[in-house]
């Protein structure tokens, strides 16, 4: 149904349409059927010896064409919306057609969707078609940050296929990451540790991936300030998004300078929430894909 701001405007549009229509009809009739008001006294005026006024009527097939179009207009306006807010006999509307198509689409896909929601992750992961859809959802929504191959980029966006999970790698944890997003917070330690402390603790953190020295000068500070989140042996804590520090896999790069920068300045990576942007099926497909990695 055409949406009009008020009945007044609808009526106004109907009035204008009808008046123009009648005006057009009158014009056509007057051209073809009313006796010309021009006063012919036999002679047509001639200018410059050979210029005369074309007073003969237009070809008659124009009349039929115009008549046909006028009839078509009337029939159209009776059947379809166009005359103010009058809906037309068919009650057709773009919105109506769209919701019909949507309903059809939903009927067709409801079964497939229910199927996907009921299929265990392990089967989805093995299903090529499902994984192709997941890959295209990923490239649309995720690859700008995590890279086309989900390998992370810029030492800012984590690699998602290294099986090293900052926020946990179970289906529930990954799903929660996607739905609600994640905000990691590690404060800056510069003020507390000073340059020397940052140097020591950075070197100690690097050694966690090998065999750490129990007498390392950074160990005391690590045990005092860091293990609450990163764990006594650097295993990390997925509840806080505190990454593992002992597997030589780094979100923000693993050279000494980058590690020092992480510790001195703090880090607060943010994964946006997709719960409102993606539906349950899309989230399930992505989760299955990431579990596979
Ligand atoms: C309150 C919890 C908390 C404490 C305490 C904490 N961290 Fe962190 N740390 C985190 C979180 C959360 C991240 C992840 C930041 C991000 O993803 O942006 C992180 C990241 C890091 C990183 C970067 C890891 C990578 O993969 O790039 C290093 C290195 C690090 N912390 C070392 C330390 C050290 C050394 C201390 C002690 C001086 C410490 N952290 C204390 C929570 C903590
Ligand atoms: C605007 C950039 C951005 C986009 C877009 C984005 N992410 Fe992230 N994502 C991040 C950042 C940054 C982190 C790391 C947060 C942190 O430091 O803890 C992250 C973390 C994650 C994690 C947690 C990794 C772990 O080790 O626990 C998963 C899983 C993830 N993203 C999946 C996705 C998926 C799937 C999409 C697409 C639907 C997506 N991300 C889109 C920036 C993004």
Rounded mean pLDDT for each run of 10 residues along the chain, 293 residues in total: 72 93 92 70 73 75 93 92 84 81 83 89 91 93 92 89 91 96 94 93 92 87 92 91 92 92 94 94 94 77
State how far the alpha carbon of 118 is from the alpha carbons of 76, 123, 274, 276, 285, in Å: 49, 10, 21, 21, 12
pLDDT of 3: 60
CA distance 87 to 90: 8
pLDDT of 58: 81
Tokens 């509840």 correspond to: 239
pLDDT of 131: 92
pLDDT of 265: 94
State how far the alpha carbon of 206 is from the alpha carbons of 132, 189, 260, in Å: 39, 16, 10
CA of 277, closest atom in ligand 2: 38
Q: Cα of 223 to ligand 2 centre, how many Å?
A: 29
For residue 186 and ligand 2, the question of a CB distance below 6 A is answered with no
Closest by CA to 256, choosing from 218, 284, 225, is 218
pLDDT of 260: 94
pLDDT of 46: 80
**Residues flanking ligand 1, CB < 6 Å:** 184-186, 189, 201, 205, 222, 225-226, 228-230, 240-243, 245, 250-252, 259, 262-263, 267-269
Phi-psi region of 205 (alpha: psi -120 to 50; beta: other; left: phi over 0): alpha
Cβ contacts of 203 within 8 Å, gap of 6 or more: 216, 218, 256
CA of 193, closest atom in ligand 1: 38
Q: Cα of 244 to ligand 2 centre, how many Å?
A: 17
Where b means 16+ CB within 10 Å and e means fewer, 203-224 reads bbbbbbbeebeeebebbebbee
pLDDT of 178: 96
pLDDT of 292: 75
Tokens 């917070």 correspond to: 185
pLDDT of 210: 86
pLDDT of 41: 58
Mind listing the pLDDT tens digit for each residue in 153-209?
878 999 999 888 999 999 999 999 999 999 999 999 999 999 999 999 999 999 999
pLDDT of 5: 67
CA distance 111 to 223: 54
Q: Cα of 292 to ligand 2 centre, how many Å?
A: 16
Q: Cα of 165 to ligand 2 centre, how many Å?
A: 11
């Amino acid at each position: 149904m055409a949406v009009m701001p008020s009945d007044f405007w609808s009526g106004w549009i109907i009035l204008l349409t009808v008046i123009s229509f009648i005006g057009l009809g009158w014009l056509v009739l007057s051209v073809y059927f009313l006796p010309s008001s021009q006063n012919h006294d036999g002679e047509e005026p001639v200018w410059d010896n050979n210029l005369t006024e074309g007073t003969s009527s237009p070809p008659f097939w124009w009349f039929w064409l115009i008549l046909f179009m006028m009839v078509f207009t009337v029939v159209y306006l009776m059947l379809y919306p166009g005359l103010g807010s009058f809906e037309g006999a068919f009650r057709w509307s773009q919105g109506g057609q769209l919701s019909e198509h949507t309903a059809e689409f939903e009927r067709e896909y409801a079964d497939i969707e229910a199927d996907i929601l009921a299929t265990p992750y392990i089967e989805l992961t093995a299903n090529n078609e499902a994984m192709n859809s997941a890959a295209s959802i990923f490239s649309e929504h995720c690859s700008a940050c995590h890279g086309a191959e989900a390998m992370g980029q810029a030492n800012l966006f984590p690699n998602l296929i290294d099986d090293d999970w900052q926020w946990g790698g179970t289906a529930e944890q990954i799903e929660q990451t996607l739905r609600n997003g994640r905000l990691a917070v590690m404060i800056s330690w510069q003020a507390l540790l000073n340059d020397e402390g940052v140097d020591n603790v950075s070197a100690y953190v690097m050694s966690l991936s090998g065999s750490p020295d129990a007498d390392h000068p950074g160990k005391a500070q690590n045990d005092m300030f860091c293990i609450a989140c990163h764990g006594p042996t650097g295993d990390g804590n997925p509840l806080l998004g505190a990454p593992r520090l002992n597997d030589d896999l780094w979100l923000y790069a693993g050279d000494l300078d980058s590690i020092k920068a992480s510790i001195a300045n703090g880090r607060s990576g943010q994964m946006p929430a997709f719960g409102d942007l993606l539906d349950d099926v899309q989230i399930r497909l992505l989760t299955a894909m990431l579990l596979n990695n």
